[in-house]
A and B are shown apart, each in its own frame.
Chain A
Amino acid sequence: MSDKIAGRVWKFGENINTDLMLPGHVHAASEEEQARAVFSANRPGWVKEVRHGDFIVGGRNYGMGSSRPAARSIRNVGIACLIADSINGLFFRNCVNFGMLAIECPGVSAAFEEGQTAEVSLADFTVRNTTTGQVLKALPAPENLLALMRGGGIYPVLEKQGLIAPKTNTAA
């Protein structure tokens, strides 16, 4: 797995909450339905514009709110990396759980405009704006958590240990 990844940036603000990413009315629905509802209240139509491999750049406390699997929805719409000034602790856990790469990088939201390309180096935890050339220092993620985020999350580990059954079709 390459230690350098790059993607087109979508900008979101401060305190972006889980209910915007995973609205309550699809909380009991299938993963596919949940993914279609991402940001439907604050940015309708976004899920049709976002492309596989794009990045989200957010402000402070990205992912505030509930324990619902909003990080999985962000992963399922194709976001390859989330970079934010700071990330809510519970949302970060779910990024680890569901294999969604999430990096905390103070100052990142001020350094990017929507549509620019961000290049993340996981070898030295830097974030570069390829348009402006600005390089920011990100907060290093603990190695084992980074491995989970990049390796598909916690379920493959539990499957391998024989603690949970392999995934079956869970469409509701």
Chain B
Amino acid sequence: MGMTIIEKILARASGAKKVSPGDLVVVDVDTAVFIDNAFLPASWREVLKVHDPSKIVVIFDHRAPASDRVSAGSHVTGRAFVKRFGIERFHDVGREIGIAHVVVSDRAYALPGTVLVCADSHTCSGGAFNCAARGVGAPDMIYAATTGKTWFRVGETIRYDLEGRLAPGVTTKDVFLHIAGEFGEHANQNVEFGGGGLKHLSLNARRTISTMGAELSAEFATFEADDLLLDYVRKRNPAPFEAQYADKDAVYKERRTIALDAMEPLVALPDTVVNNSVKISKVAGEKIDQAFIGSCANGTLDDLKMAAHVLKGRRVAAGVRLIVTPGSQEIYRDALRAGYVETLMEAGAVVTNATCGACGGGHMGVLGPNETCITASTRNFKGRMGDPSARIFMASPATVAASAVAGAITHPGEFTREALS
């Protein structure tokens, strides 16, 4: 019996011929990404030896630039760690900063067929790169940095075949909301994505899905490798790699087909993501105080382009705050050159520096008591973006931008009818 993509990657990384669901595997870690949270005083432990500094990446993102004395202190600790062990891939506040998973994608640090860990749940983002990328705990990171290894429990895999093509104005965020609404959580299972529809999806579009794998509670969310991916990676990262492909007789717990043509804009109701998606007509007209487009899931250039497309020549409704956060400073520069930033700002959006920011209610764009927000980010748990009485609806960047213009939750249809060029 053959193996799924993730089983192939884990077998290779653990030196085993075959791994199967139920196995506990110890693997070599190819890339260990430390974020600023790792250096918070309640998380950090002083590291005395590092296994291999060339396998470590440090990226400040959750509270960067520093929001208060504690986060400033964590950055000081992080810089000292970088200096002490001579870590070259360091993304400090400045030109190369961004949300860790976005920088990992910009630079193709997530190599196909390899293992990448980071103490942030949305690390599965790298799965779009055919990488066994997984969110782990802060102690796992210290273990990986000092020993070069980590462990995984091998779960069963659900295969999603994406077929056809999305209609204009419908995005992979809607595809995710469909999966989360229809199939619920995937705890202790892997999800694998492939199929004929993949060729119509940009890497950014794929990354939205893989990033949201965390919200499915999946162990790993892994995509098939194709030429689009392999060319992208080769252009950005000279390191050797070997993409892994599912065996023809791979064993899946279940195979499900997603007809992309049949997808429509959806919205998740407040407080939880899974089993909580509804058609926009169900909540259309719900007044909003804030709209947010950003995060590791929706801060891509495609997302900013979509937002600019909706907002071009329009204004954010009075009484609504629209916050847009590019996923990295590199994306920010690309969006500036493409004119998206000017369009967004003319419409009344506040375009911020690249950071996790409002997504985690960390240090900007925090919600107040009883406010309503519609967000194109990763998570809508109660209290996630600020006060626990605030309500957080989750949707695609198109739906969020359209809602910001209308001042209430709105179907993006009339704003996105013209196809994007």
**B53: shortest Cβ distance to chain A, in Å?**
14
A147 on the B face (CB < 8 A)? no
- B136, A172: Cβ atoms closer than 8 Å: no
A2 on the B face (CB < 8 A)? no
**B133: shortest Cβ distance to chain A, in Å?**
13
A135 on the B face (CB < 8 A)? no
One of A86, A93, A161 near B136 (C-beta < 8 A): A93
Q: Which residue of A has the minimal Cβ distance to B43?
A: A69
Interface residues on A, range: 35 or more
One of B41, B139, B219 near A155 (C-beta < 8 A): B139
B381 on the A face (CB < 8 A)? yes
One of B40, B45, B142 near A28 (C-beta < 8 A): B40
Q: A90-B135, A154-B143, A167-B45 are in contact. Are A67 and B119 (CB under 8 A)?
A: yes
Q: Which residue of B has the minimal Cβ distance to A41?
A: B388
Contacts of B47 in A (CB 8 A): 163-165
Interface string of B45-85 (1 = CB under 8 A from A): 11111000000000000010000101100100000000000
Interface string of A42-80 (1 = CB under 8 A from B): 100000000000000000110011111101000000000
A117 on the B face (CB < 8 A)? no
* Tally of contacts, chain A with chain B, CB under 8 A: 148
Contacts of A165 in B (CB 8 A): 45-48
Contacts of B136 in A (CB 8 A): 67, 90, 93
Contact sample, A vs B, 29 pairs, CB 8 Å cutoff: A19-B379, A19-B381, A20-B381, A23-B383, A24-B384, A27-B360, A27-B362, A28-B40, A29-B70, A60-B187, A65-B379, A69-B43, A88-B187, A89-B155, A89-B187, A89-B217, A90-B137, A145-B24, A154-B142, A154-B143, A158-B45, A162-B48, A163-B48, A163-B146, A163-B147, A164-B45, A165-B47, A168-B46, A172-B70
Residues of chain B whose beta carbon lies under 8 Å from any beta carbon of chain A: 24, 37, 40-49, 63, 68, 70-71, 74, 119-121, 123, 134-140, 142-143, 146-147, 151, 153, 155, 185, 187-188, 214, 217, 219, 272, 274, 360-362, 379, 381-384, 388
Give me 19 other A-B pairs in contact (C-beta within 8 A), A89-B188, A165-B46 excluded.
A17-B381, A24-B362, A25-B361, A28-B68, A34-B42, A64-B185, A65-B214, A67-B119, A67-B123, A67-B137, A90-B134, A97-B139, A154-B143, A155-B142, A158-B143, A161-B146, A164-B142, A170-B41, A170-B44
Residues of chain A whose beta carbon lies under 8 Å from any beta carbon of chain B: 15, 17, 19-20, 23-25, 27-31, 34, 41-42, 60-61, 64-69, 71, 86-90, 93-94, 97-98, 142, 144-145, 153-155, 158, 161-165, 167-168, 170-172
